[in-house]
Amino acid sequence: MPSTTTDQEAGTLASTVFEQLRRDIVSVQLAPGEKLRIEALRERYGVGGSPVREALNRLSAEGLVWQQDQKGFRVAPVSERELEELTRRVEHCRLETHPDFFDFFVEGCQFKPVESLECV
């Protein structure tokens, strides 16, 4: 049986919320361990509860969100080792993708000796 327009719209909304939530988690706009309240997320993304719950379930399957019975959802915690690995991978990707940018950036910097820096 074909999906109705409402089902398609709900799927699109859930995908949009999924991407927004994922971005907010990865960029640490939502902190590791933070409780994710459906009502607050509805308001944040301007959608209903169903797309939020679907997005949270998808993120839970990816390991970015933890789901606890009767307690709701939380952003998955990140260990120091995982954070270091993520930072290393990001730096590797930056250097592999835009090595000329870093050369240009460093050439344009004017470095001062540490002794000449003032505390504000």
Q: How far apart are CA 45 and CA 21, in angstroms?
A: 9
Please report the pLDDT score of residue 73 as a whole number.
Answer: 96
Specify whether the CB–CB gap between 22 and 59 falls below 8 A: yes
Please report the pLDDT score of residue 41 as a whole number.
Answer: 97
Q: Give tens-digit pLDDT for 22-56.
A: 999 888 889 899 999 999 999 999 999 999 999 99
Task: Please give the single-letter amino acid code of residue 36.
Answer: L
> Residue 67 pairs with which residues in a beta bridge?
73
Confidence at 8, pLDDT banded by 50, 70, 90: low
Confidence at 10, pLDDT banded by 50, 70, 90: low
Q: Give tens-digit pLDDT for 67-118.
A: 988 889 999 988 888 778 877 876 776 677 666 655 555 454 444 444 443 4
CB < 8 Å & 24+ apart, contacts of 68-74: 72/35, 72/36, 72/37, 72/38, 73/35, 73/36, 73/38, 74/33, 74/34, 74/35, 74/36
Please report the pLDDT score of residue 65 as a whole number.
Answer: 94
For the chain, which domains are there? Answer: 5-75 (1.10.10.10), 80-116 (no CATH)
pLDDT surpassing 70 at residue 58: yes
> Residue 35 pairs with which residues in a beta bridge?
74
pTM above 0.85, yes or no: no
Please report the pLDDT score of residue 98 as a whole number.
Answer: 65
H or E element, residue 73: strand 72-75
74 by DSSP, 3-state: which? strand
Closest CA to 73 of 44, 48, 42, 38: 38
